Structure 1
């Protein structure tokens, strides 16, 4: 019986080496629960995952240390080559049916005359692969650079799923020199406008935590040139500070931080059903040392807000007033700010 297993691996690797496939650099975060950043094959696995070549198991694992099978290898390689695995001809292996999860990948590689299987007309998709096979792949590809991932392994040692992912990722990257392994960061023009936005919301009367926020904002303002500080609402309600002071405890600290603008969250209207109505909110606005922006709230029917509200957009906003939007000039650039209440 003729064994054509080595032909399967060698020809497939040759096709892999000359095919240009854009490889996405590995993410800093692990795509699988059992592949930590410290794992030897983390980068290869992450690269193939980011490129959409592998997806792992339904339970969110990849099982990187499990020996890879011929069927799994065919699926990875077909994915790296971006082959059509649906519109394929039957490879006519006696041990592969159309319901087999590797059927499409195997059939696609057969269609390219990449694999022929064994002499008994089987493919043996569950049979594992050794590093000896990988050594023969490297020896048969003169244009393929030496791969670090293939070194220091006994020929009879089984190849794991993680090791094969690393091999494929490295082969694809090095056989496609136009794809840099690490993207270059474009230079920022000397006259470019830089703006840092500090954003917070849902502080919910946690007045005891606001000094920490004040410190963080101060540090950022010292470290960065142009800083815009915004509060997206829901300062009202949440602790005994609000029950006792109806927002005034928060306001003293928000004024100390020095926001550029604030929009009303839905909880700013929580006292509307009380006998005093929105008096606490009106007092909050009047005492603010920053303007408010709200493009979809109409205060005109509540006399408590008379003189505090306008539906105009202002380039000279006053503190303690409500606008549909404002325009601030920062380092010579005009920055528009508007808010929406959900």
Structure 2
């Protein structure tokens, strides 16, 4: 059976007694390559490089004082935008005249950092709370919810209609979706709008920028990027429909994680580890492959949380991430006390692994991304 064969093969690769061992020496050479600062665009956030399709817009929003990042110099573009941050940005860019009485939310006391911003969007009639009197400031928002918020905030007119397969005539946010779509603020994915897909920080910054520039002839709405595909020859073992299942997604993710973890010494790579790593089953730890898996992972699942961390280059819990994924894939067969045996590879061992399994081009990609 397909699943059992893959499980046994991958488990064997991790726990097999090594037939040959390679101790990877510490790489003490200093890379000489450096970009010419005079000609390269200034990078404001270290996780939004100059080749990012939304680099210019995110930098412009930052320079205007509309958006900010984190103390570590990141923007975390792939993190889900929270309700409190949506409120803060709207309060920052719009006058927001009050149209109703203020409401005190149970979970937003006056000492809350975003209290004033949340009060402004609530009084402006743009955002409200739930039936229990909470605002849920840390909750994420869907594309449909963001469409409603932007429509109300900018008082948009519906200029034209478009029939999206997943937006029925009676859908609660249909008018809001049509308003943002017909004004070029949000686009669809072919014939789909994906109303329940969560919105990221980068996407919200783009939507807000487009809304602020409606009517500007020089403003061109960036098209939705094509659906992410894996690196050629990688991650082809499971079909797209299979990747929507918990098992296939967990297996695909934990096999990718093998690049960063081992049951040997952290600086050791064995023949057995290399032998069992078929690129068509696994894939290198790259943004392209992670974005491909992101298309199919279950929304709000533990696996999506791990993927989001990895996309933000957060590998601080990679050992526990790996153990979690192994357990999700097959809790009955997962060996006990894995945390005793699983270790994070050294940088040099990881690079040796990448070179041997995926080749020089993959190693080059890795160094550029990480």
**TM superposition score normalised by structure 2:** 0.36
| Structure with more of its chain in helix, by fraction | 2
Higher RCO, Cα 8 Å, sep 6+: 2
Q: Higher strand share goes to which structure?
A: 1
Larger radius of gyration between Structure 1 and Structure 2? 1
